[in-house]
Structure 1
Amino acid sequence: MNTIKTLLTGTALSLCALPALAQQEVVWWDFLAGGDGVRMKALIERFNEEHPDIQITGTTLEWGVPFYTKVRTSAAVGQGPDVMTYHLSRLPLGLEEGVLTKITDEDLETAGLSKDDFYDRAIDAASGPDGDLYAVPFDIHSIVLYYNKSFLEGSRFLDDQGNLTGIESLEDFEEALALAKENGSQAPVSYATGDDGGTYRVFFTLLRQQDGELITDGEPLAGDNLEKAVRAIEIMTKWTEEGWQPEQAEYEASVALFTSGKSAFHMNGVWEVPTMTDMAEEGTLGFEWGAVQVPTLMDTQTTWADSHAFAIPVQGDEEMSEEKRDAVMTVIGWMEENAISWADAGHIPAYLPVAESDEFQSMEPNATYSSLADTASYDPRSEVAGVASPVYDAAINIISPAIHGYLDPQQAAEQIKSSLTDVMD
C-alpha cells in the first residue's frame, strides 16, 4: 500500500512539474492613429482577453513612408512583426521589395476564412500577378460625398426624407454647388486642395469615372488617358475659378470648413464619419448632415478606394513556425469576424458575412454608401502608386498648383506623365 501511495504521489508531483501550455506571442505593427487607433487597440484588448493562449503585443508606427520604410528594413534583417496592417495600394511595391509572404488556402482555413468571404475587388487588390494572396482585406475605405442639408433645403437636391438626390452628372453637381454658394456657402465643396491625398483622390476619381487609366502596361497616361487627365484637372480648376472650393486647404482646414457649416459638400474618406457622428451627438455640428457614394459625375460610377489589410512579412532568412503562423491566422480570423467594431469608424467591412449582416445594414451612413464596394477603383498595380508614393507626390507638386491656376491643365497632365515615367525608368 505504501509503495502504491508513493508511486501515485510521485506521479502527481511529476504532473505538477510539467510546464503549462506555451503561450504564443504575436508581435503586431500598425499605422493607425486617431479614431482608427482607438478602435484597433480596443479590438486587440478584446482578443487578448478572449485568448489566454495567444497574446498580441501591439506597436503603432508613423503612417506613410516611415511605416513602409521600417517594414522593408526590418524584413531584410528578420526583425519585423509577425503580422501588420498594410494598404492594398502598396501591395505591388511590397511584392517588388519581397517583404510579403504568401497566404495560402490552408492559412485561410486555419483562420476560418476563404477568398469567397470577401468582396471580389478587395481580393483582387490583395493578390499578386501570380494569383496568390499576399494579404487579407479588412475593409474598403473610399472618399464619399458628405453634405450639409441646410444649404439645399427647398431645392430639387433633397427628397421628402431630406436625403440627397438629383445629382446624376457633373452638370447636376455644379448646379448644386452654384445653389449652395447663392445660399451663403463660403466653400460649396471642400476637400484637401493643398494636400497630396485629398487632391489625388478627387483627381483619380474623376479620371476613373471617364474610364481613364493612370498607368497602363507600365506606361503613365498612355493614349487618350492624357486627355482624360487634362479633363479631370480642368474640372477641379473650374471649381477654384468659380469660388466653389477652398484654395490650398490643408487636410484639417478642409474638414473644419464643413464641420463649421461653411461648406455644403465635403469630399473625404469614410474615416471622418465618426467626426460628424460625434459632433452631431454632442450638439456641436449645428446642421443635419448625410454621406453618400460620390455620384456619377462623368461616364462611369466608380470612386477611388483602398483597403486596410493584414499581411505577414518576410523574416529575413527565417521561416515562421507552424505554431506561430496558426496563432497569426487565428488573430486575423477573429479580427474579420469582429469587423463590425471597425465599421464603427466609417469603414465598409471587406468580410462579407459582416458587411451583409443586419447589424451593418442598419449602420448609417455606412449602409447608404456601402454600394461603392462593388464599383471601387483601387490604385493601378504599380510600384509608383499607392499610399505615400510618387503618384501622391505628383498630386501635391503638379495637380494642386494646376487647380489653383499656377499651371495649365494640359501642361500639368504632361508633367504627371513625365514625372511618373522618370521614376519608373
Structure 2
Amino acid sequence: MSPISRRAVLGGALAVGAASALAGCSAGAGLADDGRSLRYWDLFTGGDGATMRAMLDAFRAEHPEIDLEAVTLQWGPTYYTKLAMAGAGGRAPDVAVLHLARLPGYAPAGLLDPFDPDLLAEFDLTEENFPAAVWQRAQYNGQVYAIPLDTHPYVMYYNVDVCREAGLLDADDQLIPLRGPDAVLAAFTAAKQVTGAYGLVTETYGTDGVNPWRMWWTLYRQLGGELLTPDGRDLAIDDAKALRALTFMQQLTSSGAAIREADGSGSIALFSSGQAGFMWQGDWEVTTLLASGVPFSMTRFPAVFDNASAQADGHSLVLPHRRTRSPAQARATYQLIAFLLRHSVTWAEGGHVPAYQPVARSAEYRALRPQSLYASVVEELALDPPVWFAGSASTLWLEMGAALSPVLTGRATPAEGLAAAKAAVRRLLATPNPVQ
C-alpha cells in the first residue's frame, strides 16, 4: 500500500475545515477494538437514508452483541473530505460508504485498507457473486478495496397513461423499445402532443447540475467513445463521436421534444405532476414518484446509437484506513457488510440495482416493479474513467456539467460545448490528486 501523504491533508482543498473534520473523525475513537462495537459512516441524507437506517436496525436486532454506531454525514464533497481526513489520521470508522467510481482517489493514497480474501470467502463476498465490470472496478493493485452494494444507472421514467394514449405501449402495457435517434425523438414528440406541455423533462442546467454529463457520457459511450487514454493521463476524446452525441442533445431541446431549461428539482416536479411523458434521471427517484401518485414505470435508457450503455456509478462499502484493526473487529465488520448485501432487496426498493447477485437473481427482487425492469443494464454500464477526479459528487461531473449544459439550453453550439469540455478535462489532468 502507498504511504499516506500529508501534503494534501495539511494543504489544498482538504485543509478547509480540517480541524472540524479531524474532530469528527475522532468521534468514538476510544471505542473498544474488541468486536463488540462498530462505527459506520454513510452519506444517505435523502429517502434512501431511512431505508439504510431500517437495515442497520435489523442488523442490531440480529446481532445484539454488537454495539453499532451509525453516522450520516452531508452528501457530496463534505462527506468525501471527512472520509479522506479520517483515513489519513488512521482514526477512521470501521466501515464506510464510498461511491465506487471514487475508489481511484482513495485506495492509491492509502486512505483505505484492503479486504482480507479469507474473510471475504468466509462471508461469501467473492467475485462470482458480483457483476464482472463492477468487481473489477472494486480492486486496486490486485487487492479488493470495495464491496459493491449497488449500481445506480441513468434510466428512463415514463408516464404509463400518457404513453398508452400516444400509442407507445405494447400488448403487455410496457413501453415499446425505442431504438435510434429518430424513434426516440418521435416518441417524445408524440408524448408532448398528449400532455400539451412536455415530451421529455430532464435537468438541463443548475448551479451543481451534473445531468448534462450523465446524458453526454451515456450517448458518447453508446458510440464507443473514450474520454482518456488507457493509462488515464491524456485526453482521448473522439471529436466526431462527441459531436454526434452533442448534436443529438441539442436536437432534443431545439426541436421541442425535450424541455430546454429545467433544473433537477423542476424536472422531477413536472414529471410528478403529469406534465411530461418521459424523464431522464438516476434510478433513485422511485420513492418520490411513488409518493406523488403519478402512473409511472421505468426502463433502461434507450439505445439511441450503437448499444444500450447507460451512465452509472454505485455505492460500495470500504474499510477506511485505521492504525489498528483487531481480528474480532474485522470479523464484526465483515458480518455487517455481508448482512447489508444479503438484505439488499430492501435497499433495491429505492431504485438501486443490487450488486450482490444472489439477491439480484432472486424471485423477491425480480417481483419488485418497476425497480427490477432495468436490472439488465449491469451488462452495459458506462462507468466513469478510473481516475481520481471522476465519480459521484466529483469535479469531473461538475465541470463537464457546466461545459455541456449550454448545448442543451441553446446558448452554445455542439462544437463550443465540446471545446469547453475538452478544456475542463485538460485542467483536471494537470491538477494533482489533492489526497496524494
Is 2:125 the counterpart of 1:113? yes
TM-score, normalised relative to structure 1: 0.89
Q: Give 2:354's aligned residue.
A: 349
Runs of at least 5 residues in structure 1 that lack an aligned partner in the other structure: 1-20
Task: Give the letter for the 2:145 counterpart.
Answer: Y
State how far apart, in whole Å, the 1-side matches of 2:42 and 2:164 are: 43
2:204–2:260 Cα contact (<8 Å) kept: yes
| Shift of residue 388, structure 1, vs aligned partner | 2.1
Is 2:341 the counterpart of 1:312? no
Task: Say which of 144, 152, 172 aligns to 1:161.
Answer: 172
Q: Give 1:8's aligned residue.
A: none
Matched ranges for 1:144-155 at <5 A: 144-155=155-166
Identity of aligned pairs, percent? 30
Q: Give 2:376's aligned residue.
A: 371
Q: Give 2:236's aligned residue.
A: 222
Task: Say which of 281, 288, 300 aligns to 1:293.
Answer: 300
Is 2:139 the counterpart of 1:127? yes
**DSSP-derived class of the 1:95 partner:** coil
Q: Give 1:26's aligned residue.
A: 38
State how far apart, in whole Å, the 1-side matches of 2:380 and 2:424 are: 29
Q: Give 1:142's aligned residue.
A: 153
State how far apart, in whole Å, the 1-side matches of 2:303 and 2:357 are: 25
Task: Say which of 220, 223, 244 aligns to 1:231.
Answer: 244
State how far apart, in whole Å, the 2-side matches of 1:201 and 1:397 are: 12
Q: Give 1:190's aligned residue.
A: 201
State how far apart, in whole Å, the 1-side matches of 2:70 and 2:213 are: 31
**Alignment RMSD, CA only?**
1.8
Q: Give 2:339's aligned residue.
A: 334
2:146–2:316 Cα contact (<8 Å) kept: yes
State how far apart, in whole Å, the 1-side matches of 2:302 and 2:334 are: 38
| Shift of residue 276, structure 1, vs aligned partner | 2.2
Task: Say which of 389, 396, 399 aligns to 1:394.
Answer: 399
Farther-moved stretch of structure 1 (98-107 vs 153-162): 153-162
TM-score, normalised relative to structure 2: 0.87
Farther-moved stretch of structure 1 (235-244 vs 256-265): 235-244
Is 2:431 the counterpart of 1:417? no
| Shift of residue 270, structure 1, vs aligned partner | 1.3
Q: Give 1:37's aligned residue.
A: 49
CA shift in 2, pair 1:387/1:23, >3 Å: closer
Is 2:73 the counterpart of 1:61? yes
Task: Give the letter for the 2:405 counterpart.
Answer: S
| Shift of residue 205, structure 1, vs aligned partner | 0.5
1:193–1:199 Cα contact (<8 Å) kept: yes
Q: Give 2:18's aligned residue.
A: none
Task: Give the letter for the 1:409 counterpart.
Answer: P
Runs of at least 5 residues in structure 2 that lack an aligned partner in the other structure: 1-32, 431-436
Farther-moved stretch of structure 1 (113-122 vs 83-92): 113-122
CA shift in 2, pair 1:268/1:220, >3 Å: farther
Farther-moved stretch of structure 1 (62-71 vs 271-280): 271-280
CA shift in 2, pair 1:156/1:82, >3 Å: same
State how far apart, in whole Å, the 2-side matches of 1:185 and 1:239 are: 17
Q: Give 1:77's aligned residue.
A: 89
CA deviation digits over 1:210-248, x for unaligned, max 9?
Answer: 11112223256525x222222222111111212232334
1:168–1:295 Cα contact (<8 Å) kept: yes
Q: Give 2:104's aligned residue.
A: 92
Q: Give 1:179's aligned residue.
A: 190
Farther-moved stretch of structure 1 (138-147 vs 179-188): 179-188
State how far apart, in whole Å, the 2-side matches of 1:391 and 1:228 are: 19
State how far apart, in whole Å, the 2-side matches of 1:74 and 1:152 are: 49
State how far apart, in whole Å, the 2-side matches of 1:56 and 1:375 are: 37
Structure showing greater radius of gyration is 1
Q: Give 1:11's aligned residue.
A: none
Task: Give the letter for the 1:222 counterpart.
Answer: A
| Shift of residue 382, structure 1, vs aligned partner | 1.1
Q: Give 2:12's aligned residue.
A: none
2:299–2:373 Cα contact (<8 Å) kept: yes
State how far apart, in whole Å, the 2-side matches of 1:299 and 1:207 are: 10
CA shift in 2, pair 1:71/1:298, >3 Å: same
CA deviation digits over 1:347-382, x for unaligned, max 9?
Answer: 111001111111111111122111111111211111
1:96–1:383 Cα contact (<8 Å) kept: no
CA deviation digits over 1:8-59, x for unaligned, max 9?
Answer: xxxxxxxxxxxxx966211100000222100000011110111022222000
State how far apart, in whole Å, the 2-side matches of 1:131 and 1:227 are: 36
**DSSP-derived class of the 2:226 partner:** coil
Q: Give 1:51's aligned residue.
A: 63
State how far apart, in whole Å, the 1-side matches of 2:398 and 2:261 are: 15
State how far apart, in whole Å, the 2-side matches of 1:166 and 1:374 are: 17
Task: Say which of 222, 246, 249 aligns to 1:209.
Answer: 222
State how far apart, in whole Å, the 1-side matches of 2:35 and 2:334 are: 15
2:252–2:258 Cα contact (<8 Å) kept: yes
**DSSP-derived class of the 2:418 partner:** helix
| Shift of residue 111, structure 1, vs aligned partner | 2.6
